[in-house]
Amino acid sequence: MVDRPAGLHRLPVAIGVILLLAVLLPLSRPATAVAEPAGQWTTVAQQISDELDAAAATFHDGDQDGAKNQVRDTRYKTYVGSGFEEALGAKSGADVKDADMDFALLIQAIKDNNGTEVDSRVDELKRLVTDAAQTLDGNSQRAEDMPISPGKWGQVASTMIDLLNQGRDASAAGDPDRGKELVNEAYYGNYETTGFEKVTMSRVSGARVSTIELEFANIKRDMTDQDNDSVATRVAELEVMLIQDANTLDGYDPSTGATSEGGGLTLFLSAFLVILREGLEAILVVAAVMAFMIKAGLRRESRAIWAGVALAVLISGALALLFHFVTAAAGSNQELLEGVTALVAVAMLIWVSNWMIENSDHASWKKYLPGSTENGISRASLFSLVLVTFVAVLREGAETILFYQPILAMAGDDTHLVWLGLAVGAVCLVLVYVAIRFFSLRIPLRPFFIITSIFLAAMAVVFTGSGIKELQEADVLPSTAIDGLPTIDLLGIYPRVENLTGQAVVLVIIVALYVIGSRRQRRRGGAPGDRGERTAGQTTE
């Protein structure tokens, strides 16, 4: 008998338990209330700004090492040591993420001896901590006092602000249903359909979009509860965020009144990041399934997988056209479709992951093949593999196409940069696919089955979080925020009770199925398999 690698059979359970604790522990942790004197954070923000100015001056005096040390001291001793980062994280995980990125880019700019970039990052960090301090001290900006870009996105933001104000007033006057209709018009009719959401996601961050989407949902919830004071507060905060994002997207500088679309580099990066982010989840699932097909000696059957992928792309294009030209079909219906397909993908990913684990030993795989069709795999199993890749591609396809519409609209004469960004991003996805295929051929069959199974299970957890988010945006599920937790859009992690609870449930199901499958394997004596069956049971790699 061939012994299993030590501890390998416990690996999926261990990973499942770790992930489960990672999800459940934040839910059980009480939010930390930070009581500070008025103006406390404004004072800290001013200190951070002064220290950043001093670091910039040191850099321009020719002392790069000294400047880097000053920036590090500012970050860890003042920004983190004062509690500013923790207090900001309780309000906005997105702002903490942006600040961390700006600190890292500032140090990189100093290393690169790029004076223009150093000054730009210093100014951005100073603005971020100053705005955050005003919010933390209860002196947040008011939309009516903020200059707004006269550009395209500023106009869209102005329309949304007008609708939000009308909705707030309608709800306060005793008509919450009318108020919610106006909020939906601002969200579905403007934030989504104009491309504001998608461009913000590509040029600011997915976490920022998630924060704004949650705020729209919270406003409607408060209207239902007739909590007009909370509605007014949330509307005011949302309007400030919309103005800030509009000014960023238009490249508007309130101090000078100048507006710039950001140049060709911005267009290229927007197009590149869209295809990379939206296509990554789908290509990972397709690559994992295709690697399994080749590893298991099912090359001929793999054509069915590609047929499913091609069909998903075609349907995605048709849905994108439908959502674009038929306004009534867009809005909440788009989120509903994305949410439902994501949860269908979750069910299929769990099934396929469990199926791979159950057939991961050579003896089980050898026993499985004689009961299969003449093509080497049962029709039910092949259909499941085709369906999981089909749904994964369909889920991302239509949204990816819709992302490019506003980017192309604002490109003007520089559309070639959009296509270049799309092409480079697509090449990166192909490289990811090739890398998975390449490394999979060097892994023995049983460890490969286990690793692929764990990966697909992890993707099921990611799809659960993002699928529930889409259903929340479609007003199908409630949304209860958890303060102090970050948004990690790429991993499907959102600081909401429903999302994290759903992911915890999926983790429990995955671990339970693994335990049941392992016991079934032991009862039938399939694992680990005889040495003599190793070659016979393993198909072409």
pLDDT confidence of 50, banded at 50, 70, 90? very high
pLDDT confidence of 425, banded at 50, 70, 90? confident
Rounded Cα distance, 508 and 13, in Å: 10
pLDDT confidence of 237, banded at 50, 70, 90? confident
Q: What is the dihedral of CA 173, 333, 277, 12, to 10 degrees?
A: 100
The tokens for 101 are 């990125």
Containing H/E element for 518? helix 497-524
Rounded Cα distance, 345 and 395, in Å: 9
Q: Determine the 3-state secondary structure of 151 from DSSP.
A: coil
Nearest to 254 by CA among 125, 143, 116: 143
Rounded Cα distance, 362 and 300, in Å: 21
Contact 372, 468 (CB under 8 A): no
Contact 75, 103 (CB under 8 A): yes
Helix axis angle, 263-295 relative to 415-440, nearest 10°?
30
DSSP 537: H
Tens of pLDDT, residues 448-461: 777 778 878 888 88
State yes or no: pLDDT of 186 exceeds 80. yes
257-270 burial, b at 16+ Cβ within 10 Å, e below that, comes to: eebebeeeebbbbb
- Predicted local confidence at residue 37, as pLDDT: 41
Nearest to 474 by CA among 271, 188, 193: 188
DSSP 4: P
Rounded Cα distance, 187 and 473, in Å: 10
* N-terminal to C-terminal alpha carbon distance within the chain: 22
Rounded Cα distance, 54 and 48, in Å: 10
How would you class 234 by CB atoms within 10 Å of its CB: exposed for 0-12, middle for 13-18, buried for 19 or more? buried
Contact 343, 464 (CB under 8 A): yes
Rounded Cα distance, 214 and 236, in Å: 14
434: Cα separation from own chain's centroid: 23
Average pLDDT over residues 346-361: 75
The tokens for 244 are 């800030």
State yes or no: pLDDT of 261 exceeds 80. no
Helix axis angle, 228-250 relative to 206-224, nearest 10°?
160
Average pLDDT over residues 37-46: 73
The tokens for 538 are 């393993």
Asked whether the bond before 528 is cis by omega within 30 degrees of 0, the reply is yes
Average pLDDT over residues 285-311: 81
182: Cα separation from own chain's centroid: 27
Give the highest mean pLDDT range of 141-150, 166-175, 479-488, 493-502: 166-175
Average pLDDT over residues 50-65: 92
Q: Round the average pLDDT of the chain to a whole number and report it.
A: 75
**How would you write 52-109 as a 3-class SS string?**
HHHHHHHHHCCCHHHHHHHHHHHHHHHHHCCCHHHHHHHHCHHHHHHHHHHHHHHHHH
**CATH tag for 40-137 (out of 1.10.20, 1.10.3470, 1.20.120, 1.20.1260):** 1.20.120
Rounded Cα distance, 190 and 385, in Å: 38
Report phi then psi at 493, rounded to 5: -100, 120
Q: Which amino acid, residue 420?
A: L
% of residues, the chain, pLDDT over 70: 73
- Predicted local confidence at residue 528, as pLDDT: 42
Tens of pLDDT, residues 129-141: 888 887 776 555 6
Give the highest mean pLDDT range of 48-52, 117-121, 264-268, 397-401: 48-52
**Cβ atoms within 10 Å of 425's Cβ, excluding its own:** 22
Question: Model-level pTM?
Answer: 0.54
Of 105-109, 138-142, 215-219, 240-244, the least confident: 138-142
Residue 57: partners with Cβ closer than 8 Å, 6 or more residues away: none
- Predicted local confidence at residue 58, as pLDDT: 92
Rounded Cα distance, 248 and 98, in Å: 14
Contact 330, 188 (CB under 8 A): yes
Rounded Cα distance, 154 and 159, in Å: 9
Rounded Cα distance, 274 and 123, in Å: 27
Rounded Cα distance, 2 and 446, in Å: 12
